[in-house]
Chains A and B, each alone.
Chain A
Amino acid sequence: MPELSAFGNDPFWLVCIKTLGVFVILVVLVLFTIWAERRVVARMQMRIGPNRTGPFGLLQSLMDGVKLALKEEIIPTTVHKAVYWIAPALSATTAFAAFAVIPFGPEVSMFGVVTPLQLTDFPQSVLYVLAVASIGIYGIVLAGWSSGSTYPLLGGLRSSAQMISYEISMSLSFVAVFLYAGSMSTSQITSAQQNLWYAVLLAPSFVIYVTSMVGETNRAPFDLPEAESELVGGFHTEYSSLKFAMFFLAEYINMVTVSAVATTLFLGGWLAPWPISLIPGANEGWWPMLWWLGKVMCFIFLYIWLRGTLPRFRYDQFMAFGWKVLIPVSLVWIVLVSIVRVVRDEYELDLDGIVVGGSVLVVAMLVLIASIWVRGSRVIDEKEPLPESISDLDDGAFPVPPMPGQTFEYTPRVRKPVPATAGGSSDKPVEAGDDSKDAEVSDG
């Protein structure tokens, strides 16, 4: 188990080699993930998927990258030039940078120098991942804003609102981990899980994290910023060739990064899973990288599985789920965990007075919150009543679905026969202008 003091001792040439190694691992993982996603989703949809380029189509994503590089770059006249150029580079840079603190394994001997299989680590490294992930949101907002087009702007706004909302529940799910590990450094959190993974010990945190990591990376079923049926491509609608590829790359790197963070914080990082961990030497040398990779692959498969299975959320449902379910549940869970933990630790103290006083305080807080709840409901429940029925279909208005509580007045459809001079060639009587529109809509 590397201590924190093991970091920061590498000579500069070794830092460069490790940097290059992390970079290559990331790029290869991304290329593999894109390929795996296409193949697995294809299997789930009873198709074969890409199988022509290289063995099993493994080179497909690389060839797609080459193709994108040879594509014409279309820059619309409406864009803000400088920001339009910076946005994809910012997205990709921050996506790469977040991987610096992910541990791959214990200390190994690399070119004669004993060094941890991790680029670097320091007491606040998880905070660094969160900070860099937040900067990545700028890339998306700026891309949407600088495109000077409607769909990218809406997509960028949605994306940023979504990412910041789910970042809160994501960060809150870390609190219980820090509480138990007593550290924010990734290597120390990994070491603290030698006996029991936090996914088991802190299962609610794990579930909250896994849910919000899908929202944080804009993936199905939370891929609203890229909802094709609503927003075309979302924030990257106006991007083409390699600039688009940078956003694509950043999305997949972020998937790998959040999977790696989940592995590190909840699944024991590079520690061998249970039956393998009984073998002596399973947690030494280069083997742990394999366990790490396996766990990350599990998360990536989960992503693909979700995409192949679940339909997309509606935006209001999605935001309500983040703010009204994930965040309150995480807050309550943190309160529970911390109370249990601190009371257990301090059990030797004279508890009577504290427990009585504490429970009185907690009850008073809950009563106050409940009273705000009840008062609030009085305000919003007094909405203006809706009209009970709609009967403006005859006025040429576009027919809309009824609001909750509204009913349609049934009007039998009127078919006007067309004057004989207009449509001679057709067999059936053709419907005239207004009616044909109504008929189409009601038939569909």
Chain B
Amino acid sequence: MNVYIPLLTLAGLGMLFALFSVSVTSLTGPKRYNRAKVDAYECGIEPTPQAVGGGRFPVKYYLTAMMFIIFDLEIVFLYPWAVASDQLGLFGLAAIMLFLFNLTVPFVYEWRRGGLEWD
């Protein structure tokens, strides 16, 4: 038996359970129509109309996502090195330190230019 098949069985069981739960309520619950109920919720006032696709939101979220991709890639390179560092020795250490340094420079730059400030 392949080691990856149990991943599929558990994910499949979870998915069956989730799909069942998500769809069963439309059968078990009552249905009483009321126009105010099917409006978007906004603390009891008339809801603000939403633009299609979610409308506008602060660009900071994009910046955070881009920073995340940079660091996630860094982590993807750090993991194999960490596992194999005993075999790689000093050469691996020097290489990964250079790599970390190259990523720390833009990180510090962004930090000091206010890229990490939320206001």
- Please give the residue numbers on chain A whose beta carbons come within 8 Å of chain B beta carbons, in ascending order: 7-12, 15-16, 18-20, 22-23, 68-78, 85, 88-97, 99-101, 119-122, 127-128, 145, 147-151, 153-154, 157, 160-161, 164-165, 167-168, 171-172, 174-176, 178-179, 182-184, 232, 237-238, 241-243, 245-246, 315-316, 319-320, 323-324, 327, 331, 334-335, 338-339, 341-342, 345-346, 349, 354, 358, 361-362, 365, 368-369, 372-373, 375-377, 379-380
Report the 7 A-B pairs with minimum CB-CB distance, sorted nearest first. Answer: A376-B112, A96-B14, A149-B40, A316-B118, A8-B3, A178-B82, A92-B18
A341 touches which one: B64, B67, B72, B85 (CB < 8 A)? B85
Q: How large is the interface on B (under 10, 10 to 19, 20 to 34, 35 or more residues)?
A: 35 or more
Q: A243 to B22, Cβ gap below 8 A?
A: yes
Query: Which residues of the partner chain A approach B60 to less than 8 Å between Cβ atoms?
Result: 161
- Which chain B residue has the least Cβ–Cβ distance from A354? B90
Q: Please determine whether A246 and B30 come into contact, CB atoms closer than 8 angstroms.
A: no
List residues of chain B with CB within 8 A of the CB of A15.
1, 5-6, 9
Distance of A163 Cα from B86 Cα, bound (Å): 32
Residue of B whose beta carbon sits closest to that of A128: B7
Q: Which residue of A lies closest to B53 (CB)?
A: A145
Contacts of A183 in B (CB 8 A): 83
Q: Please state if A96 and B79 are interface contacts (CB–CB under 8 Å).
A: no
B6, B50, B108, B112, most chain A CB atoms within 10 A: B6
Chain B hits for A168, CB < 8 A: 68, 71-72, 75
Q: Which residues of A contact B31 (CB under 8 A)?
A: 72
**B83–chain A nearest beta-carbon distance, Å:** 5
CB-defined interface of B63-92 with A at 8 Å, one 1/0 digit per residue? 011011001100100110011011001101
Interface of B is mostly: helix
Q: Which residues of A contact B86 (CB under 8 A)?
A: 182, 345
Evaluate contact between B29 and A99: CB separation under 8 angstroms: no
A339 CB to nearest B CB, Å: 7
Chain B residue contacts of A237, Cβ below 8 A? 41
| CB-based nearest B residue for A121 | B3
Partner of A165 from the list B39, B64, B114 (CB cut-off 8 Å) is B64
Given contacts A70-B29, A157-B61, contact A331 B100 (CB under 8 A): yes
Contact A245 to B21, CB < 8 A, known contacts A175-B79, A372-B109:
yes
Known: A16-B9, A72-B29, A97-B7. 4 other contacts (CB 8 A): A23-B13, A70-B29, A75-B38, A179-B85
The residue on B at minimum CB distance from A119 is B6
- Tell me which of A72, A88, A178, A184 contacts B32 (CB under 8 A): A72
Contact at B117–A96, with CB atoms within 8 Å?
no
Residue on B nearest A177 in the bound complex, by CB: B82
A residues within 8 A CB of B39?
76-78
Q: Cβ of B29 and Cβ of A69 under 8 Å apart?
A: yes
* Shortest CB distance A10–B (Å): 5
Q: Which residues of B contact A172 (CB under 8 A)?
A: 71, 75, 78
Residues of A within 8 A of B114 (CB): 380
Pair A320/B38 contact, Cβ less than 8 Å: no
Are B105 and A368 neighbours in the complex by a CB distance under 8 Å? Answer: yes
Known: A72-B31, A338-B85. A89 touches B9 (CB 8 A): no
CB nearest to B7 among chain A residues: A100
Nearest-neighbor residue (CB-CB) of A380 within chain B: B114
Asked whether B78 lies within 8 Å of A10 as measured between CB atoms, the reply is no
A-B CB contact pairs (8 Å), 25 listed: A8-B3, A9-B1, A10-B6, A23-B13, A73-B29, A78-B50, A96-B11, A149-B41, A149-B50, A150-B48, A150-B50, A161-B61, A164-B64, A164-B65, A165-B64, A174-B79, A184-B79, A242-B21, A319-B64, A324-B111, A342-B85, A342-B92, A369-B104, A376-B109, A380-B114
